[in-house]
Protein backbone atom coordinates (compact mmCIF):
# COMPACT_ATOMS: atom_id res chain seq x y z
CA UNK A 1 0.00 0.00 0.00
CA UNK A 2 1.41 3.46 -0.80
CA UNK A 3 2.57 5.25 2.35
CA UNK A 4 1.83 8.75 1.11
CA UNK A 5 -1.01 10.06 -1.02
CA UNK A 6 1.43 11.37 -3.64
CA UNK A 7 3.32 8.06 -4.10
CA UNK A 8 1.20 7.23 -7.14
CA UNK A 9 2.35 10.49 -8.75
CA UNK A 10 6.03 9.48 -8.74
CA UNK A 11 7.67 9.36 -12.18
CA UNK A 12 11.09 7.71 -12.52
CA UNK A 13 13.81 9.91 -14.01
CA UNK A 14 17.58 10.03 -14.46
CA UNK A 15 19.77 11.22 -11.59
CA UNK A 16 21.10 14.03 -13.82
CA UNK A 17 17.56 15.32 -14.45
CA UNK A 18 16.77 15.13 -10.73
CA UNK A 19 19.87 17.18 -9.99
CA UNK A 20 18.99 20.02 -12.38
CA UNK A 21 15.35 20.04 -11.22
CA UNK A 22 16.47 20.20 -7.57
CA UNK A 23 18.77 23.13 -8.38
CA UNK A 24 16.00 24.90 -10.32
CA UNK A 25 13.54 24.59 -7.42
CA UNK A 26 16.14 25.59 -4.82
CA UNK A 27 17.13 28.78 -6.61
CA UNK A 28 13.52 30.03 -6.60
CA UNK A 29 13.23 32.70 -3.90
CA UNK A 30 10.00 31.23 -2.44
CA UNK A 31 10.71 27.50 -2.78
CA UNK A 32 14.22 27.69 -1.32
CA UNK A 33 12.63 27.94 2.14
CA UNK A 34 11.09 24.47 1.85
CA UNK A 35 12.64 21.45 3.51
CA UNK A 36 15.08 19.24 1.59
CA UNK A 37 12.62 16.32 1.71
CA UNK A 38 9.83 18.46 0.26
CA UNK A 39 12.03 19.50 -2.68
CA UNK A 40 13.03 15.84 -3.21
CA UNK A 41 9.38 14.75 -3.26
CA UNK A 42 8.49 17.53 -5.70
CA UNK A 43 11.27 16.44 -8.07
CA UNK A 44 10.08 12.81 -7.85
CA UNK A 45 6.54 13.78 -8.87
CA UNK A 46 7.34 16.11 -11.79
CA UNK A 47 6.50 14.96 -15.32
CA UNK A 48 7.37 16.23 -18.82
CA UNK A 49 5.21 18.22 -21.19
CA UNK A 50 5.86 20.02 -24.46
CA UNK A 51 4.21 23.15 -25.80
CA UNK A 52 4.27 24.26 -29.42
CA UNK A 53 5.32 27.71 -30.66
CA UNK A 54 2.72 30.34 -29.72
CA UNK A 55 0.92 28.17 -27.15
CA UNK A 56 0.11 29.61 -23.73
CA UNK A 57 1.55 27.64 -20.82
CA UNK A 58 -0.13 30.06 -18.37
CA UNK A 59 -2.86 32.66 -18.84
CA UNK A 60 -3.03 35.69 -16.55
CA UNK A 61 -6.13 35.70 -14.31
CA UNK A 62 -6.79 31.97 -14.53
CA UNK A 63 -6.58 29.62 -11.53
CA UNK A 64 -3.20 27.92 -11.21
CA UNK A 65 -3.08 24.14 -11.27
CA UNK A 66 0.60 23.53 -12.04
CA UNK A 67 4.10 24.67 -11.16
CA UNK A 68 6.74 24.42 -13.92
CA UNK A 69 10.46 24.25 -14.59
CA UNK A 70 11.61 25.23 -18.09
CA UNK A 71 13.92 22.54 -19.53
CA UNK A 72 14.26 23.60 -23.17
CA UNK A 73 13.12 26.41 -25.48
CA UNK A 74 12.11 30.01 -24.85
CA UNK A 75 9.19 31.47 -22.89
CA UNK A 76 7.97 35.08 -22.74
CA UNK A 77 6.16 36.58 -19.72
CA UNK A 78 3.34 39.09 -20.38
CA UNK A 79 1.06 41.23 -18.25
CA UNK A 80 -1.95 42.68 -20.07
CA UNK A 81 -0.24 41.88 -23.42
CA UNK A 82 2.87 43.85 -22.42
CA UNK A 83 6.09 41.83 -22.65
CA UNK A 84 7.85 41.83 -19.26
CA UNK A 85 10.70 39.39 -19.66
CA UNK A 86 11.79 35.99 -20.90
CA UNK A 87 12.31 32.90 -18.75
CA UNK A 88 15.75 31.25 -18.79
CA UNK A 89 16.19 27.48 -19.05
CA UNK A 90 16.13 25.66 -15.68
CA UNK A 91 14.05 28.38 -14.05
CA UNK A 92 10.91 27.65 -11.98
CA UNK A 93 7.74 29.54 -12.92
CA UNK A 94 4.04 29.40 -12.12
CA UNK A 95 4.88 29.03 -8.42
CA UNK A 96 2.98 32.12 -7.22
CA UNK A 97 -0.59 30.90 -7.81
CA UNK A 98 0.34 27.51 -6.30
CA UNK A 99 1.95 28.95 -3.17
CA UNK A 100 -0.56 31.72 -2.52
CA UNK A 101 -3.79 30.20 -3.87
CA UNK A 102 -4.15 33.21 -6.14
CA UNK A 103 -4.91 33.53 -9.84
CA UNK A 104 -2.05 33.72 -12.33
CA UNK A 105 -0.20 37.05 -12.09
CA UNK A 106 1.05 36.95 -15.69
CA UNK A 107 0.77 35.03 -18.97
CA UNK A 108 3.58 32.75 -20.14
CA UNK A 109 3.81 31.87 -23.85
CA UNK A 110 6.06 29.57 -25.84
CA UNK A 111 8.25 31.52 -28.29
CA UNK A 112 9.34 28.26 -29.90
CA UNK A 113 8.80 24.58 -29.09
CA UNK A 114 9.26 24.25 -25.35
CA UNK A 115 9.87 21.39 -22.94
CA UNK A 116 8.84 21.81 -19.30
CA UNK A 117 8.65 19.71 -16.16
CA UNK A 118 5.30 20.00 -14.39
CA UNK A 119 4.09 19.51 -10.82
CA UNK A 120 0.35 19.36 -10.15
CA UNK A 121 -1.07 21.61 -7.43
CA UNK A 122 -2.80 18.72 -5.65
CA UNK A 123 0.48 16.79 -5.43
CA UNK A 124 2.30 19.90 -4.17
CA UNK A 125 -0.29 20.31 -1.42
CA UNK A 126 -0.04 16.64 -0.45
CA UNK A 127 3.75 16.95 -0.23
CA UNK A 128 3.39 19.96 2.09
CA UNK A 129 0.90 18.03 4.22
CA UNK A 130 3.01 14.86 4.43
CA UNK A 131 5.93 16.64 6.05
CA UNK A 132 3.63 18.18 8.65
CA UNK A 133 2.24 14.71 9.50
CA UNK A 134 5.68 13.07 9.63
CA UNK A 135 6.93 15.77 11.98
CA UNK A 136 3.87 15.31 14.18
CA UNK A 137 4.58 11.56 14.51
CA UNK A 138 7.92 12.30 16.18
CA UNK A 139 6.27 13.71 19.31
P1 LIG B 1 2.03 32.66 -11.43
O2 LIG B 1 1.45 33.94 -10.99
O3 LIG B 1 1.57 31.42 -10.79
O4 LIG B 1 1.86 32.52 -13.01
C5 LIG B 1 2.57 33.42 -13.85
C6 LIG B 1 4.04 33.30 -13.52
O7 LIG B 1 4.89 34.16 -14.22
C8 LIG B 1 4.27 33.68 -12.05
O9 LIG B 1 3.64 32.72 -11.23
C10 LIG B 1 5.77 33.81 -12.01
O11 LIG B 1 6.38 32.53 -11.94
C12 LIG B 1 6.02 34.42 -13.40
N13 LIG B 1 6.15 35.89 -13.32
C14 LIG B 1 5.23 36.77 -12.93
N15 LIG B 1 5.69 38.03 -13.01
C16 LIG B 1 6.95 37.95 -13.45
C17 LIG B 1 7.98 38.89 -13.74
N18 LIG B 1 7.80 40.21 -13.59
N19 LIG B 1 9.16 38.41 -14.15
C20 LIG B 1 9.37 37.10 -14.30
N21 LIG B 1 8.44 36.15 -14.05
C22 LIG B 1 7.25 36.58 -13.64
Question: Is the domain 10-132 a CATH 3.40.50.300 member?
Answer: no
> Sign (positive/negative) of CA torsion 40, 46, 50, 56?
negative
CA dihedral of residues 38, 39, 45, 47 (deg, nearest 10): 160
73 C-beta closer than 6 A to ligand 1: no
Please tell me the distance between residue 106's alpha carbon and the centre of ligand 1 in angstroms: 5
The share of the chain scoring above pLDDT 90, in percent, equals 88
Strand arrangement of the beta sheet that strand 114-120 belongs to = 47-51, 114-120, 66-72, 92-93
Whether the per-residue pLDDT at 36 is higher than 70: the answer is yes
Atom of ligand 1 nearest to the CA of 97: 3
Query: Using N-to-C axis directions, what is the helix angle for 36-45 and 15-26, rounded to 10°?
Result: 130
Contacts of residue 34, Cβ cutoff 8 Å, sequence gap at least 6: 25, 42
Q: What is the pLDDT of residues 70-129, one digit of tens each?
A: 999 999 999 998 999 999 999 999 999 999 999 999 999 999 999 999 999 999 999 999
Q: Given strand 107-110, what is the order of strands in its sheet? A: 56-58, 107-110, 75-79, 82-87
Count of CB atoms within 10 A of residue 44's CB?
19
Distance (angstroms) between ligand 1 centre and the Cα of 103 equals 11
Does the complex come out with an ipTM higher than 0.90? yes
Q: Where are the domains of the chain?
A: 10-132
Amino acid sequence: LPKFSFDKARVSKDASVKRVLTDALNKNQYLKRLELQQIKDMVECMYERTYQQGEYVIKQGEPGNHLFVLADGKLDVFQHNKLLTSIAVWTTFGELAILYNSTRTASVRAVNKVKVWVLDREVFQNIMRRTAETRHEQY
